[in-house]
Structure 1
Amino acid sequence: MFSPRGPGPRELAVQALSSVERGYDLLAPKFDHTPFRTPGPVLDAVASALARTGPFETGLDLCCGTGAGVGVLARVCRRSVTGVDFSAGMLAVARERTRPAGVPVAWVRADARALPFASAFDLVVSFGAFGHFLPRERPGLFAQVRSVLRPGGRFAFPVVAPPRPGSPAYWGLLGFDTVMRVRNALWRPPFVMYYRTFRFGDVRRELLRAGFGVELYALPEFGRRGDGSPRVRLVVARRPD
């Protein structure tokens, strides 16, 4: 799962027993060599889908980490791009490694649950961050995203179809979430990272309640499952004009 340049077992153990913020500060220098970084094909597919609905002027990468989503925004936004994250370590790596040509980039340290922006963006994206928010936090998170979008702005993120019950991937995710729940019951501070709490039906309802219109786009690069449903979708939530 990890390249030779990724973190070792001892480093992962220290990170797992830290808070989310401290854990990512520690992981930041080697994060891009872990399976937690959003794969390049997903980033490329999202950029292609957004290019068909854009162009956009200004973009925000929510929970930007080391800046993978900023590279996507730089391909579809014409004026400026901003990355926001609450880990100073991740932002430091992003500043050093992510320098897309053609568009200015700003990096802001802030909590996604209290964004320090007015209605400033035409597009907000997020990749792989929602497992760090408990279900009860999502309505507030979506309200924050809506507040930083201009009228007509879009909030986009990819969603992978859940693994079928009984499959190796299903048991793997179930096992991971179970370990995290036991860890958080026994150790403080908590480290919130759950893969099975971001259920599409619940998320769609919460986006609608937050005042978004919701559209779905299949990402054809990843094909379809046996029942004909897409393996990966792009969710595009639009703030009304």
Structure 2
Amino acid sequence: MFSPEGPTARELAVQALSSVERGYDLLAPKFDHTPYRTPDAVLDAVATALAAMGPFDSGLDLCCGTGAGTDVLARVCRGSVTGVDFSAGMLAVARERAAPAGPAVSWVRADARALPFTSAFDLVVSFGAFGHFLPRELPGLFGQVHSVLRPGGCFAFPLVAPPRPGSAGYWALLGFDTAMRVRNALWRPPFVMYYRTCRLGDVRRELTRAGFRVELYPLPRFGRRSDGSPRVRLVAARRAPVPAGAGGPAQPAAGSVNS
């Protein structure tokens, strides 16, 4: 699970008893050596799928952490790339690891629930961040993303199918979430990190309510479950283009792909 370069048990305990922001500030120097970082296989699969939808111009990595998602944006965006996170420690590591030969990346410290942009991006991506938001926060979060996308822009993120009830994975995630709820009931400040709150049906409903048109694409390299459903999907939520006659000609979405 953790490489030798990863955090020690004591460091993880200190992080778990901190706030989310402080915890990630502490974890940042060793974050890329933990299982919390999105695997390269997922990043590559998303980049391949987005390349078929693009090209895009400007891109935003929401809750960018140490910048793994900005590498995906650099592969599919022709223009500017921006990473935003509320952890100064994670942003510091992201700046250090940014590839010198790639496109220039702007790093912005901000809360995803109050983004300091207005209709500035054609593509927004996010990797592994939604467990840090309570279900009641999703409408506001998705509303913020909708507001920073240009008409026709796309909000894309991978979503892993939940483990089957009764499986080892199911009990592991249930146990983790239960432990976090007990911790947050007994200790302040809270550390919001849950694995079972981001369900496809809920996400799709809230994206639609925020004004997105939602499309789902299987990521083939991860295969399918016994019932034929994809193990990992790419959720692609598009902001509607400007209709013809409403301030100019209709703007097509930034590329398309057949389902």
Query: TM-score under structure 2 normalisation?
Result: 0.92
Amino acid in the other structure paired with 1:59:
G
**In 2, Cα distance between equivalents of 1:186 and 1:231:** 35
**In 2, Cα distance between equivalents of 1:215 and 1:107:** 29
Match in the other structure for 2:206: 206
Amino acid in the other structure paired with 2:134:
L
Q: Percent identity?
A: 84
**In 2, Cα distance between equivalents of 1:168 and 1:102:** 41
1:107-153 Cα deviation digits (max 9, x unpaired): 00000000000100000000000000000000000000000000000
Q: Where in structure 1 are there 5+ consecutive unaligned residues?
A: none
Amino acid in the other structure paired with 1:228:
G
Amino acid in the other structure paired with 2:173:
L
Match in the other structure for 1:79: 79
Check the 8 A contact 1:15/1:26 in 2, yes or no. Answer: yes
**In 1, Cα distance between equivalents of 2:97 and 2:213:** 35
**In 1, Cα distance between equivalents of 2:65 and 2:7:** 16
Determine helix, strand or coil for the equivalent of 2:95.
helix
**In 1, Cα distance between equivalents of 2:36 and 2:102:** 28
Determine helix, strand or coil for the equivalent of 2:57.
strand
Determine helix, strand or coil for the equivalent of 1:78.
coil
The 5 A counterparts of 1:1-241 are 1-99=1-99, 101-241=101-241
Determine helix, strand or coil for the equivalent of 2:73.
helix
Q: Where in structure 2 are there 5+ consecutive unaligned residues?
A: 242-259
Determine helix, strand or coil for the equivalent of 1:99.
coil
Amino acid in the other structure paired with 1:21:
E
Check the 8 A contact 1:79/1:104 in 2, yes or no. Answer: no
Shift of 1:100: 5.9
Aligned residues: 241
**In 1, Cα distance between equivalents of 2:225 and 2:196:** 19
Determine helix, strand or coil for the equivalent of 2:65.
coil
Determine helix, strand or coil for the equivalent of 2:79.
strand
**In 1, Cα distance between equivalents of 2:152 and 2:100:** 26
Check the 8 A contact 1:71/1:100 in 2, yes or no. Answer: no
1:17-68 Cα deviation digits (max 9, x unpaired): 0000000000000000000000000000000000000000000000000000
Query: TM-score under structure 1 normalisation?
Result: 0.99
Amino acid in the other structure paired with 2:51:
A
**Aligned Cα RMSD in Å?**
0.6
Check the 8 A contact 1:161/1:230 in 2, yes or no. Answer: yes
Between structure 1 and structure 2, the one with the greater Rg is: 2
